[in-house]
Amino acid sequence: MSQDHPSRRAFLAASLGLTATAFIRPSRPQALTVGQVIDRIKANVGIPWQAQTVDNLIVGRPDLPVKGVASVMMATLDTVRRAYDQGYNMIITHEPTFYTHQDRTDNLQQDPLYQHKREFMAERGISVLHFHDHWHRRKPDGIATGMVRELGWERFADPEKPKRFNFPETTLARLAQQIESKLKIRTMRVLGDPNLPVRSVLASWGNVGLESGIPYLAQADLLILGETREWEVVEYVQDAIAAGQKKGLIILGHLVSEQAGMKYCAEWLKGFITEVPVGFVPAEEPFWRPGRPVK
């Protein structure tokens, strides 16, 4: 029986090795998609996903690939542009993209600004998820958690009442200055005696109407909120003070009153989105005050 020449055996072995390698070579992982990110958010938020909610994909499609995820408070055109320039093409926004809480656009279809903003995102493959209801309903509330952390108020939180904080006695002016500094607010407004002694604070981030504002004010020396109609809670507090009640009101502005909650959201997202970069892109406070420089 004849034997194979050594060079031939080596050639066959090498060929078989290449063939085997071709079969076992790992395939490239599939790109993370918008739909997969949304599914992970639903799986990790800790509460059942509601059928009736504003938390929907507002721009983009579930099958679009994700290069990076940005958590933002408000998907303004400027914020979306800055997020995209940083490599994020999926935006998780707490507030609406198109000017109403439900992101209804029926009356905007012919609006040039709406068209420009929509086209800007479509041309760049940007997707936007509205993430409001479930971030608030999460236990604990994601917005409140981030705001308390940003202010450093964890040790003052009332264990029996999540929105209430108990401080060593301070004054309204001193506490207002501390909040303004920590949140870097340009246009915070304060109502009440600057020397008002403050021990108890009720903080409700975002919008507060009269129905909730009245019982909130009854629980504390000071009510802190994001925004309200001036003929509702503001007028009510004015009348309370005129009637002799020792009360104060701080209006932060809606954006700054919740933004740290979306900063915290970026940290939370990093816990289950690891394939792509995840970051927080702050929205700019919209207002400025005469006599103070605008950064």
Q: What angle do CA 217, 222, 225 make, to 5 degrees?
A: 75
pLDDT confidence of 147, banded at 50, 70, 90? very high
- Residue 40: predicted pLDDT: 98
- Residue 23: predicted pLDDT: 46
Give the residue range(s) of CATH 3.40.1390.30 domains in the chain: 34-138, 142-256
| CA distance linking residue 282 with residue 39, whole number of Å | 25
User: What pLDDT digit, counting tens, does each position of 187-201 carry?
Assistant: 999 999 999 999 999
**Domain 34-138 fold:** 3.40.1390
With residues binned 3-state (H G I as helix, E B as strand, rest as coil), the percentages for the chain, rounded to 5, are 40, 20, 40
In 200-253, alpha helices (H): 210-218, 235-242
- Are residues 275 and 42 in contact, defined by beta-carbon separation less than 8 angstroms? no
Mean per-residue pLDDT, 115-131: 98
Before 140, cis peptide (omega within 30)?
yes
For the domain made up of 142-256, the CATH class stated in words is alpha beta
**19 sits in which H/E element:** helix 6-24
| CA distance linking residue 37 with residue 129, whole number of Å | 10
| CA distance linking residue 208 with residue 229, whole number of Å | 8
**Of the listed ranges 24-33, 76-85, 93-102, 171-180, the one predicted with least confidence:** 24-33
- Are residues 229 and 209 in contact, defined by beta-carbon separation less than 8 angstroms? yes
pLDDT confidence of 291, banded at 50, 70, 90? confident
pLDDT confidence of 30, banded at 50, 70, 90? confident
pTM of the model: 0.88
Q: Closest by alpha carbon to 124, among 63, 38, 65, 40? A: 65
By percentage, how much of the chain surpasses pLDDT 70? 89
- Are residues 198 and 191 in contact, defined by beta-carbon separation less than 8 angstroms? no
Mean per-residue pLDDT, 125-149: 97
Mean per-residue pLDDT, 169-198: 97
Question: 227 is written with which tokens?
Answer: 């925004």
pLDDT surpassing 50 at residue 22: no
The set of residues, in sequence order, having a beta carbon less than 8 Å from that of 86 and lying 6+ positions away, is 68, 70, 279, 281
Q: Chain-wide mean pLDDT for the chain?
A: 92
- Residue 29: predicted pLDDT: 64
User: What pLDDT digit, counting tens, does each position of 208-265 carry?
Assistant: 999 999 999 999 999 999 999 999 999 999 999 999 999 999 999 999 999 999 999 9
- Residue 1: predicted pLDDT: 46
Tokens 């918008």: give the residue: 34
